[in-house]
Chain A
């Protein structure tokens, strides 16, 4: 028998994934438990590439949860459903990977493959996760949420504004996070110019989130047509996977 996908924590992760969180507090709880497990993955305990992404995602989602409690959003029903649906796709990808399913989105599998990799670097890893999650998962999470709430993705609505507020949370969290796990790379990064820095803070998140919204609108229009919908899915997966591989390539390492 080959070694289980999640090594020594395999059973714990499978058990955790059997649960489907249904509200934002439960999502945060789930991500917290996952974090505790991921950092126990050898050989890079504490700095597994997926743990790097998960840590970032946990921080962001905790902030979203605070926002929901603190009356930060205009349409909390929408935002909670979106958050839960969004997270569900990350957990789904992990579940598929656990089952070694060929249908694991490639956008994700390029990161999962590196889990045991010898050359994991926190920043590109987290960025690759953000890329898969936003470029691939988010448009579909948006469409599903709108469909469920019998609403639709229209620019300039309360829901659109709430959606954009998440950008602020990302922008707010990313620099500190970067410093958090970059300590020894910080100097190197500062020696590079600020453009790359901006690219991380601004472009990657804000730009891709806007693309995700546009893509959601695109999928929305063809959501009743299974063929077109699947085509759209394949296209997004290809794009996100290509970008993900780039981030995880030596070029991504160079960014760090």
Chain B
């Protein structure tokens, strides 16, 4: 720092500094993330605290990157990150060549053109890779000031990194102006959502108290203040350190102490500046900070010695601050004070000089700044091309919101009549501007704005709007959730004689898709058939074929003709493979896998399709998006059929693609579901935190309910029934009534929590909660009666569970109700709830002191199922009950793997009766003989690694799962093999290798 500004002592912030250091450095384990958001009013010392904390973290060995967000409304995406990298690079010494090349490598990725379906996510991934190269294993701290002006892309990057998706030990320290959060600032919600996470803290920085105020003032003046003077400083500053400092300096320097407000303090100071220093301050105020030295020289037109002299004065009067990268105002408050001090013509002149100087030499944020200055110079014609260039640049970095703002500015500029000397209006097609503005508005979720721009675009045409435009309008309407007008628009295109067959096919396919979403299956089917007929007559309409086939497939499935629906979707896949592009193939696989694992509940085949599709789309180069989505489907399918070890492997593979956004959330939820089943509390917690972090960014209410359900499920294994109840209550108040499956799942979790609270007497049963849950069950029952077949079938399973849990609340549980539930889930081939139902059935039977032999059989069945799954908490509950009832669990009358109920191959056991082709399972080689039959495939892999002498950590790295989960597997293996040491376990492994 080149100024004396920060030489003032830091008073009264020792606790906060200690907190920051602990939260951002000392308390973070390897691979973990943390964040502290410092909020406080202007002048309370946020920046100062950030600077001090950053220095300490740097001393502690962290790599610290610092940047600030800008308050020009049209900043560029990721600007603070870029700035932080440039600053960091500038500070590196020659000895740090490797780090420097990593920084430059990362800076280059920002300049690269990246387009394509999922490049927004790919950009986040590249940035996080680059950051991890820079960190080289050291903890990384990202310090961001003025976060209230953050752009959307940076916001997403922060959440992505904090969720741990970048696989980076990172902490974030950011300052936010409290005043900004009071309005409708997007960060407000983000902070509310993040606040509850363990890894995030919001530190509200309060003004100093009286004692610290006196101390600060005393240190600046050099001696303790006289009582009246101290009183005055306290009264006038309210403990705001910035004001205290300024008042104390005025006191020390004998300036009259009449100025009461900051405004007056600064104005009086500006007034006494020499002329050139005065000009320099106003020039910086009109610029975009930091204003580089060369730029300021150009703008002021002063010879170097005079310029230096002027700047010195301004710094000495505490209005400017100088640093290596340029000059800033001492505080943004100064800019607010100065804003009204210049005549409009003076201000315009300054902006003109900035623009002229920037035209000659490229600088940071070049186009955005050019547009900004030319516009304020009153030169719309020259601002226009810069605005367009800035828009394109933002688009390249996937900052659609920023791009949209630039396009909107361009539209305004194009409409402004030019009068000045710069005045030849460039040749710009207004329609092109409108089109870009509309599309970027749509992409950034501003659907109403997109529609009004489109209306303007259509209004410019002499005749009816073109078919392309109408399809676009319909698409925007559908995205805005306005299905009725969207439907009307699609119909319009279909009926229009002016539209080509290709356009009509597209409209029909889109319409069919929209109708499926609304649950209007018959209409959807009809439109889909229409689309397929039309598409058959034109080449190059494969994507209409794929979309229409999927719509048809789903509508047939819901209308209970699953076979013909399935045939249609299979055909679409063939068509896509024959004549479509990579995305068509990927979509076709996705629809087929969704249809099979969703409404048709043909899980095994769905998993096979999803995994085959994943391999295929990876070949086609669509790994990040479609492969990830397909693997998520496979994981969820495998979970339900009880092949958890396999599911775990698939989800690990999918996460290696470092997905972002909704895809990432989907996978984290899938992995968390497994961890909850395994009883791995730490891993579950971590994934739940990561999901909550991602959801704090907003936009995906559909993921909130699954998250709450998992939170409740985990809490119940921990015996925290009140936590489970809270999660369920939140879910119940935020779920749509037409989603009977989710609502049914929630109600079951809620009733189970109450029933278990009742049984364990840990928490009192909440009668109001029970009443509401009963109401919810009634509603789900009523709604599911009218729901489509496949939905009804799944909902019935959860309703059976609900009914059975209710009998536990009323008494000791009705064994028949639990038997019905077990049968429901057996029918669907979902072993986890089936095993749970058996446990409860046995419990109810035993409580009635009757038929203990049946109970024994049930417990043994449940035990075997739970063991094969690896469901540790469920297994231990079964064992506890068996122990109490003196049921021998290890008695194996029949060989494992054959279903004793119906003699049908079980899919709960791994390695037996698994459909051929269910993917590239790499089970330990060699035939498996008796001693290892109880182990799951995953456990056998772990055991093989144990026998190789690897530590849990090494095994975790090899198998891409957490060390903690390996621990769970190992203890499970010990349990099943009835051994106590790794050596004993290895011996059994070697004995059974089957040479």
Residues of A within 8 A of B (CB): 20, 22-26, 65, 68-71, 75-77, 80-81, 85, 88, 92, 99, 101-103, 105, 139-140, 143-145, 147-152, 154, 157-158, 219, 223-227, 229-230, 232-233
A145: B residues at CB distance < 8 A: 189
B699 touches A22 (CB 8 A): no
Is B698 in the interface zone, CB < 8 Å from A? yes
CB distance from B939 to the nearest CB of A (A): 39
A102 — nearest CB in chain B belongs to which residue?
B238
A148: B residues at CB distance < 8 A: 186, 189, 698-699
A65 touches B698 (CB 8 A): no
Q: Beyond A80-B734, A224-B73, is A105–B196 a contact (Cβ under 8 Å)?
A: no
B481: A residues at CB distance < 8 A: 151, 157-158
A140 touches B183 (CB 8 A): yes
Is B447 in the interface zone, CB < 8 Å from A? yes
CB distance from A63 to the nearest CB of B (A): 13
Q: Is the interface of B mostly helix, strand, loop or mixed?
A: helix
A227: B residues at CB distance < 8 A: 73
Is B736 in the interface zone, CB < 8 Å from A? yes
With A140-B182, A151-B481, A233-B182 already in contact, 19 other A-B pairs whose C-beta atoms are closer than 8 Å: A20-B195, A25-B733, A69-B772, A75-B736, A76-B733, A76-B736, A77-B701, A102-B238, A103-B179, A143-B184, A144-B188, A147-B698, A148-B698, A151-B445, A152-B448, A154-B482, A157-B482, A224-B73, A233-B183
A147: B residues at CB distance < 8 A: 184, 186, 189, 698
A81: B residues at CB distance < 8 A: 734
Is B446 in the interface zone, CB < 8 Å from A? yes
B73 touches A77 (CB 8 A): no
Q: Beyond A20-B192, A80-B734, A157-B482, is A103–B180 a contact (Cβ under 8 Å)?
A: no
Residues 776-816 of chain B: 1 if any A CB is under 8 Å from the residue's CB, otherwise 0? 10010000000000000000000000000000000000000
Partner of B206, one of A70, A99, A158: A99
Ordered by A's residue number, 12 sampled pairs between the chains whose C-beta atoms are within 8 Å are A26-B730, A70-B775, A76-B735, A103-B178, A147-B184, A148-B698, A152-B445, A152-B447, A224-B405, A225-B73, A226-B180, A229-B183
B73: A residues at CB distance < 8 A: 224-227
Residues 170-197 of chain B: 1 if any A CB is under 8 Å from the residue's CB, otherwise 0? 0000000011101111101100110110
Q: Beyond A22-B196, A99-B206, A224-B401, is A69–B183 a contact (Cβ under 8 Å)?
A: no
A105 — nearest CB in chain B belongs to which residue?
B182
**Complex Cα–Cα for A225 and B72 (A):** 9
B619: A residues at CB distance < 8 A: none
B779 touches A71 (CB 8 A): yes
A230 — nearest CB in chain B belongs to which residue?
B183
* Interface set, chain B 438-464, CB cutoff 8 A to A: 445-448
A80 touches B733 (CB 8 A): yes
Is B726 in the interface zone, CB < 8 Å from A? yes
B729 touches A144 (CB 8 A): no
Is B250 in the interface zone, CB < 8 Å from A? no
B445 touches A150 (CB 8 A): yes
Is B639 in the interface zone, CB < 8 Å from A? no
A101 touches B41 (CB 8 A): yes
Partner of A144, one of B178, B180, B189, B704: B189
**Complex Cα–Cα for A149 and B178 (A):** 23
Q: Beyond A23-B733, A70-B775, A80-B733, is A152–B480 a contact (Cβ under 8 Å)?
A: yes
B71: A residues at CB distance < 8 A: 226
B732 touches A69 (CB 8 A): yes
**Complex Cα–Cα for A80 and B41 (A):** 29
B101: A residues at CB distance < 8 A: none
Is B748 in the interface zone, CB < 8 Å from A? no
Is B951 in the interface zone, CB < 8 Å from A? no
A232 — nearest CB in chain B belongs to which residue?
B183
B701: A residues at CB distance < 8 A: 77, 149
**Complex Cα–Cα for A141 and B183 (A):** 9
A77 touches B185 (CB 8 A): no
Is B416 in the interface zone, CB < 8 Å from A? no
B178 — nearest CB in chain A belongs to which residue?
A103
Is B737 in the interface zone, CB < 8 Å from A? yes
B698 touches A25 (CB 8 A): no
Is B490 in the interface zone, CB < 8 Å from A? no
A23 touches B729 (CB 8 A): yes
**Complex Cα–Cα for A148 and B405 (A):** 19
B445 touches A25 (CB 8 A): no
CB distance from A185 to the nearest CB of B (A): 34
B448 touches A69 (CB 8 A): no
Is B558 in the interface zone, CB < 8 Å from A? no
A152 touches B193 (CB 8 A): no
Is B149 in the interface zone, CB < 8 Å from A? yes
**Complex Cα–Cα for A101 and B192 (A):** 20
B182 touches A103 (CB 8 A): yes
**Complex Cα–Cα for A223 and B188 (A):** 13
**Complex Cα–Cα for A121 and B182 (A):** 29
**Complex Cα–Cα for A152 and B698 (A):** 13
A144 touches B185 (CB 8 A): yes
* Interface set, chain B 691-728, CB cutoff 8 A to A: 698-699, 701, 704, 726
Partner of A25, one of B41, B184, B206, B729: B729
CB distance from A85 to the nearest CB of B (A): 7
CB distance from A155 to the nearest CB of B (A): 10
**Complex Cα–Cα for A71 and B737 (A):** 6
CB distance from A166 to the nearest CB of B (A): 15
A64 — nearest CB in chain B belongs to which residue?
B733
B734 touches A88 (CB 8 A): no
Chain A CB within 10 A, most for which of B148, B206, B698, B772: B698
CB distance from B559 to the nearest CB of A (A): 25
CB distance from B34 to the nearest CB of A (A): 19
**Complex Cα–Cα for A163 and B600 (A):** 38
A77: B residues at CB distance < 8 A: 701, 704, 734-736
B730 touches A23 (CB 8 A): yes
B779: A residues at CB distance < 8 A: 71
CB distance from B662 to the nearest CB of A (A): 11
A217 — nearest CB in chain B belongs to which residue?
B448
CB distance from B488 to the nearest CB of A (A): 14
**Complex Cα–Cα for A85 and B181 (A):** 12
B448: A residues at CB distance < 8 A: 152, 154
A22 touches B733 (CB 8 A): no
A223 touches B775 (CB 8 A): no
**Complex Cα–Cα for A23 and B727 (A):** 9
**Complex Cα–Cα for A20 and B188 (A):** 12
A25 touches B726 (CB 8 A): yes
Partner of A88, one of B178, B192, B405, B733: B192
Nearest 7 Cβ contacts at the A-B interface: A143-B184, A23-B730, A148-B698, A68-B733, A150-B699, A148-B189, A77-B701
A140: B residues at CB distance < 8 A: 182-184
**Complex Cα–Cα for A4 and B958 (A):** 60
B732 — nearest CB in chain A belongs to which residue?
A69
A70: B residues at CB distance < 8 A: 775
B734 touches A23 (CB 8 A): yes
**Complex Cα–Cα for A25 and B776 (A):** 16
A219 touches B178 (CB 8 A): no
CB distance from B231 to the nearest CB of A (A): 14
B184 touches A152 (CB 8 A): no
* Interface set, chain B 395-450, CB cutoff 8 A to A: 401, 405, 445-448
